[in-house]
Amino acid sequence: MAQQTNVTDFLILIIGTLTTVLTVSGVIFFAFIFQRKLYRKQAEFREIEKLLKKEELQSAYALIEGRESERKRIAEDLHDNLGSLLATLKIYIDTLRNQEVKHEEKQLLTNDQSDIYSISLYKDNRTALIQKIHSLVEAAARETRRISHDLDSGLLQYGGFQAAIEQLIEAINNSQKLFIETVIDITDPLDDELSLNVYRIIQELFANTLKHAHATKVRIEITQIPREYISIIFEDNGKGFNSEQVKKGIGLQHIYSRVERFYGHVTIDSSSEFGSTFIIEIPFNHPFSV
């Protein structure tokens, strides 16, 4: 009997001790796995941060690249158009000066004021040259205005964002390459930095559609939720594209970098059947907002 009690006591002691030890070990075990999960999560966060930093750098590079290509385009514009106009102008002015010198020398040598035919020819040539110089100066002035307009989107500055967009759309509509349906609902004025960037984004969207989409119709909707965000919905009926493959194209990168700069986001839905849809939302509480 006493032996049976001893066995029961021993069993109780074993079970009791085991339960206590296992419970305390269980608490320690959970504390350990909680810590491990936390460390794992922290490591994941660090990895994500690293990736974000890399993405941010890529966006910054794309932005710099965008500026570089814009500068290059302006330099090419200056060189090819304005430069060649000025070079031609210089040639005409030199010719005019040479003719004047030759005419004066001839007059001094011959001292003949009566060569009416020669004087008349000289005068005709001179008038023609001056006429050419005049039209070249006009062309140069026009070209300067165009480049200047391209540089700071003058209308954007003076006429406001909506007027600039409307003019851009009118210009594309006039080219008869696209039929554009427009909805613009902007109630509050946008700040300069944001409006210039949104304008450039829309320019890039149209450029991409014109260059690659082979679309005939575009619908653009620009709406503003006051003090919250501006939304651009751009739809075309073109041949669509694989957004994953084209993502790295410079045109799209410019759009992404401009949008990301303002902490906005871009959603692209594209198919060969229904064309492409870009939904861009840019919040107003970005670091550039005042």
Residues near other proteins (CB under 8 A) are 9, 12-13, 15-17, 19-20, 22-24, 26-27, 30-31, 33-35, 37-38, 40-41
In the complex, minimum distance from the CB of residue 213 to other proteins, in angstroms, rounded to a whole number: 41
User: Where on the phi/psi map is residue 73: left (φ > 0), alpha (ψ -120 to 50), or beta?
Assistant: alpha
User: Minimum distance from CB of 53 to other proteins (Å)?
Assistant: 23
Rounded to an integer, what distance in angstroms lies between the CA atom of residue 78 and that of residue 71? Answer: 10
Q: Considering the complex, what minimum distance in angstroms separates the CB of residue 48 from other proteins?
A: 15
Task: Return the biggest CA–CA distance within the chain.
Answer: 160
Query: How near is the Cβ of 20 to other proteins at its closest, in Å?
Result: 4
Compare residues 38 and 207 and give the one whose CB is closer to other proteins. Answer: 38
Nearer to other proteins, 6 or 271 (CB): 6
Under a CB-based contact definition with an 8 Å cutoff, are residues 285 and 233 in contact? no
CB of 257 to other proteins, least distance (A): 32
Residue 14 C-beta: closest distance to other proteins, Å: 10
Whichever of 12 and 91 has its CB closer to other proteins, that residue is 12
- Is 23 or 242 the residue whose CB approaches other proteins more closely? 23
Q: Say how many Å lie between the first and final Cα of the chain, rounded.
A: 91
- Choose between 15 and 225: whose C-beta lies nearer to other proteins: 15
Identify the helix (H) or strand (E) that includes residue 79.
Answer: none
What distance in Å separates the CA atoms of residue 62 and residue 259, rounded to the nearest whole number? 12
Q: Which is nearer to other proteins, 30 or 158 (CB)?
A: 30
Question: Residue 218: which of 252, 259, 255, 169 has the closest Cα?
Answer: 169
Helix (H) and strand (E) counts in the chain: 8, 5
Residues comprising the chain, all counted: 290
